[in-house]
């Protein structure tokens, strides 16, 4: 615990915090763009809103880049560790949803 306190004090601490916040915000923006594009693809392909799109909502609304603070103890390490994996999860979930809807559409016309 002491190392976390020392890591966020002194020279360079604010630059590290700001860099972590930037990383988180960029990853959150990418995740939001992925979710919006997936929603557009689903709506265009099915010609209606799918309730399955709600599964993608947490990737945009609860992204670590938006909800984790870099100014509370860890200099943004948690954001740096989780922001991109969650963004990759948003991409994977979006791709899986689109693939499943395409498969359903082929089977059921």
Q: Given pLDDT bands bounded at 50, 70 and 90, which one contains residue 54? A: confident
Buried b (16+ CB within 10 A) or exposed e, 37-61: ebbebbeeeeeeeeeebeebeebbe
Residue scoring higher pLDDT (74 or 73): 74
pLDDT, averaged across the chain: 84
Q: Write down the pLDDT at residue 109.
A: 67
pTM above 0.85, yes or no: no
Domain that holds residue 40: 2-108
Domain count, the chain: 1
Q: Distance between CA 18 and CA 28 in Å, rounded?
A: 15
How distant, in Å, are the alpha carbons of 14, 91, 99 from that of 104? 50, 20, 9
Lowest mean pLDDT among 5-14, 53-62, 84-93: 5-14
Please give the pLDDT value at position 84: 94
| 10-49 tens-digit pLDDT | 788 889 889 999 999 999 999 999 999 998 988 888 777 7
pLDDT of residue 19: 92
Distance of alpha carbon 54 from alpha carbon 1, whole angstroms: 38
Structure confidence at residue 87 as a pLDDT band (50, 70, 90)? very high
- Give the Å distances, CA to CA, from 3 to 7, 8, 9: 6, 9, 10
d(CA 64, CA 78): 8
Sequential DSSP letters for 54-84: GGGHHHHHS-HHHH--SSSSSTTHHHHHHHH
């Amino acid at each position: 615990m002491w190392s976390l306190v020392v890591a966020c004090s002194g020279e360079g601490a604010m630059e590290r915090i700001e860099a972590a916040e930037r990383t988180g915000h960029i990853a959150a923006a990418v995740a939001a763009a992925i979710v919006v594009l997936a929603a557009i693809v689903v709506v265009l392909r099915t010609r209606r809103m799918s309730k399955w799109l709600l599964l993608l909502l947490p990737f945009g609304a609860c992204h670590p880049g938006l909800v984790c603070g870099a100014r509370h103890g860890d200099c943004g390490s948690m954001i740096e560790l989780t922001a991109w994996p969650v963004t990759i999860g948003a991409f994977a979930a979006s791709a899986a949803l689109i693939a499943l809807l395409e498969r359903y559409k082929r089977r059921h016309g």
